[in-house]
Chain A
Amino acid sequence: MAERITDETIEYVGILAKLELSDEEKEQAKKDMTNMLNYIDKLNELDTDGVEPMSHVFPVNNVFREDVVTNGDERERILANAPAKKDGSFKVPKTVE
């Protein structure tokens, strides 16, 4: 079988996911992804003509909330999860466009 996941693909996916992978990790990821694609191929053996693509397992539609404020100021609890904080904000590395 032709190589389904090329080195370039792994490189590209790594960039998109912001991951720096070692050569060994790249090889492993290539194998894993190839296995996943092969597994998906199994599903292609089924005849799905006339079957609508499904996005949810349950046949549920229209789950809504009314437009009413239910949350108060939870800043301290929210910021308790921040790796770094300052002045009531999440602190992150300098980011400018």
Chain B
Amino acid sequence: MSKQYETVIGLEVHVELATKTKIFCGCSTEFGGAPNTHTCPVCTGMPGSLPVLNKQVVEYAMAVGLATNCKINQYCKFDRKNYFYPDNPQNYQISQLYLPICHDGGIEIETSAGKKVIGIHEIHMEEDAGKLVHDEWEDCSLVDFNRSGVPLIEIVSEPDMRSADEVIAYLDKLRLIIQYLGASDCKLQEGSMRADVNLSVREAGASEFGTRTEMKNLNSFKAIARAIEGERARQIELIEEGKKVIQETRRWDDNKEYSYAMRSKEDAQDYRYFPEPDLVPIVISDEWLERVKANQPELRDEKKLRYKKEYDIPEYDINILTSSKKLADIFENTIALCNKPKEVSNWLMVETMRLLKEEEKEPDDICFSPVNLAKLIGLIDEGAINRTVAKEVFEVIFREDADPEKYIEEKGLKTVNDEGALRSTIEEIVEANPQSVEDYHAGKTKAMGFLVGQTMKAMKGKADPGMVNKILLEILAE
């Protein structure tokens, strides 16, 4: 009988904070600038430059720590992590080793296996590195320090996860907490959230951990799930062949679905940390801590409870509406304008989701404004357009954030409420289709649908279906 193995997984998650400036200098963190246009002597490691800590970084780190049930180190410090790499201009990274800002927390996740708390060992603040681009034409690399010094927090979990499902649930929960706090947009694809996976396997029931490897370069939930499966299989195979798992860093290649040992930098990882002499300690007073606590926004779990109470919508819908901060914001802001929670929920749950899927986008990519959705709902409500036209208009709102009032005016989509005009069109249709009229009187109800369809076609969809039905029945009864 083959042996049973248990997978043990811990995560190191790096999150880029949503500050306007870098952690130690007044350079912008904005994306997309030309190379090195957001740099200064501090973030390029020029001799003699001195770092000054961005207060907002400390506040965001505290907020994330509090939201993940961590204890806050009210006395904390920075340390230097020493290593050589061209994207690291100082030859050290300013990080926290001895007294990280948050420690000993945890968040509850839910998977098909049930609820479970994943421990958070610590959260520390640090700076990001620059970007290395390999030059296509010359045998060299180019360094852009625009990202150098962008503030990061690293969230180190306990080795509490046992499956890819649990890892995804943990990451998703973490992502939502941080997004709701406004501390980061947490986009895996764009690198504002990065996860390194520490994984080992052991025989089921064993009390000792096996040797772990660390996997990097995971930039989607799918890649993470595949990497976990791949690495688990690789380690089990080694063990079954009587070989040893080597503790090393591996790079996941999602196209080849295999991980490769990263060339070891000729030495053991020895970062020779020591206290950062250029930065003074941070002392977080009780008052400061209380102020950050008091300013914590409503998080997802609280929001879910409130939606249930205030809007009386199904739990399934609540789960989806709160699955992205962006979606929840649009939902609430639209309700604030039109006071029709069910109607708003319906447009978001059905049409928005359909269009997102069609365009392979995420809720975070939504770019229409609550004002235009509220206007659309108002137009339906006052009978200015029917539902079929409304769906068409919504697509334009979804794609271009168009103003529905202007749009239906320009395109002449307003419902024809002129009963006389509608009645004469229907009379013409009835006259032109004697066979259908006969069928209708013979009890074939399908004929009615045909006549409604013909009328709508003649009216270019701008008739109110209720009114068409009513008039048609009157005429047929004559």
Chain A residues proximal to chain B, CB less than 8 Å: 12, 15-16, 18, 55-56, 58, 60-71, 73-75, 78-79, 81, 84, 86-97
Nearest A-chain residue to B151, judged by Cβ: A67
Query: Taking A16-B267, A67-B55, A69-B20 as contacts, is the C-beta distance between A95 and B141 under 8 angstroms?
Result: yes
Of A16, A58, A66, the contact of B55 (CB 8 Å cutoff): A66
Chain A residues with CB below 8 A from B145, complex form? 78, 90
B interface size (C-beta, 8 A): 55
Within 8 Å by CB of B20, from A16, A67, A78, A89, lies A67
Task: Report B393-423 residues with CB < 8 Å from chain A CB.
Answer: none
Interface bits B423-438 vs A (CB < 8 Å: 1, else 0): 0000000000000000
Give 25 CB contacts A-B under 8 Å.
A16-B82, A16-B270, A61-B280, A62-B280, A62-B282, A63-B53, A64-B52, A65-B26, A65-B54, A68-B26, A69-B20, A69-B27, A70-B26, A71-B28, A73-B37, A78-B40, A81-B46, A86-B140, A89-B133, A89-B142, A90-B142, A91-B142, A91-B143, A92-B86, A95-B86
Whether A89 lies near B144 (C-beta < 8 A) is yes
CB distance from B380 to the nearest CB of A (A): 43
Question: Could you list 11 further interchain pairs (A-B, Cβ under 8 angstroms) beyond the known A61-B283, A65-B55, A92-B143?
Answer: A56-B280, A56-B281, A62-B280, A63-B53, A75-B34, A78-B40, A78-B46, A87-B35, A90-B143, A94-B135, A97-B251
CB B373 to nearest CB in A, in angstroms, measures 32
A97 to chain B: which residues have CB within 8 Å? Answer: 251, 262-263
> Are the C-beta atoms of A12 and B54 separated by less than 8 Å?
no
The listed residue with most A CB atoms (<10 A of its CB), out of B133, B142, B251, B277, is B142
> Given A16-B272, A61-B282, A67-B19, are A78 and B44 also a contact pair (CB < 8 Å)?
yes
Known contacts being A16-B270, A66-B55, A71-B25, is A88 close to B280, with CB within 8 Å? no
A80 to chain B, nearest CB (A): 11
